[in-house]
Structure 1
């Protein structure tokens, strides 16, 4: 019998505070774990991730995170190796030409400030480069100062988004 461990390459990454994350791709079987995870992401961060206020993230929002092709679109889950708990979700969604990938990261509320977001962002950038993308982008609410600052520190440049004064596009080029 094939298990998730057989299908999902597992990577261990260490955050700046020494937390060791076990990271693997997400699968359909992970929907319940992601649903519980997003209940532990603070409300403002949930709003920033989905660009809409939501007290609970349900099936319609979770399906794109768990039903991916693992090449053009990848969804990663980060677990604290010590506790085994899901503490981060990161997504890379590429355009049809494999030129640009949009990224998004969420971190459980009690793991913020430990370098988990930094580590997952580095993973997404490395994956984008491995897949041959020319750039990654992130669309952020202008009020999401923490994410914008983090992405700038990681080499992203900010651009206004035509037609929407509430959003900003951050871009990191690899060429």
Structure 2
């Protein structure tokens, strides 16, 4: 699927979001994208404080196996990456875990909402019974979006700094 074959998702702000699977050739653009994500959002996505995302962190995003992991990129109408979303399935395929990042200058435009809806539909079409997001309790913006989308918080056993938000189908 090329960018021309991407799926166009509606956002509440009217921002056009073209989504397609990530490819290995996206590695450099994805690295630049993560430089335009807020420091907090980068920390929340990778559970580590760093000024940059390493090539070792980019590799699994652009080399998804399409069995246990799917990785999607959202592009602006100018062809720039403005969102990244990963959907990782458990061994049984019953649960899919989502992780989404949105470029700082596109936050608040419904891009994260659109990606969350899209990834949820992908998981449901694959037969998942549940979608989860593991969040830092400090990440109030993501928790609010997920709760607005019907996700229910649960404790993360073993780490009180984290929370699981889940939605069942």
Distance in 2 between the 1:91 and 1:162 partners? 23
Q: Return the alpha-carbon distance in structure 1 between the equivalents of residues 5 and 122 of structure 2.
A: 13
- Distance in 2 (CA, whole Å) between partners of 1:55 and 1:5 is 30
Q: 1:98 to 1:9 in 2, by over 3 A?
A: farther
Structure 1, residues 18-44: CA drift from partner, whole Å, max 9, x if none? 001110000111111110000000100
Output the TM-score relative to the length of structure 2.
0.96
Any idea what the Cα deviations from partners look like across 1:50-94, whole Å, max 9, x if unmatched?
11101000111011101112232110000012x221100001000
Q: Secondary structure at the match of 1:105?
A: strand
Unpaired runs of 5+ residues, structure 2, are none
List aligned pairs for 1:28-107, cutoff 5 A: 28-81=24-77, 83-107=78-102
Matched, 1:165 2:160: yes
Question: Which deviates the most, 63-72 or 149-158?
Answer: 63-72
The answer to whether 1:5 aligns with 2:2 is: yes
Q: Distance in 1 between matches of 2:52 and 2:92?
A: 34
> CA contact under 8 A between 1:9 and 1:25: conserved in structure 2?
no
Aligned mates of 1:50, 1:166 — CA distance in 2: 14
- Deviation of 1:46 after TM superposition, in Å, equals 0.3
SS at match of 2:158: coil
Q: Provide structure 1 residue ranges, at least 5 long, that are not aligned to the other structure.
A: none
Q: Structure 1 length normalisation: TM-score?
A: 0.93
CA RMSD of aligned residues (A): 1.4
Shift of 1:49: 0.5
The alignment of Structure 1 onto Structure 2 pairs a total of residues equal to 169
Q: Secondary structure at the match of 1:74?
A: strand
Residue aligning to 1:23: 19
CA distance in 1, matches of 2:107, 2:90: 30
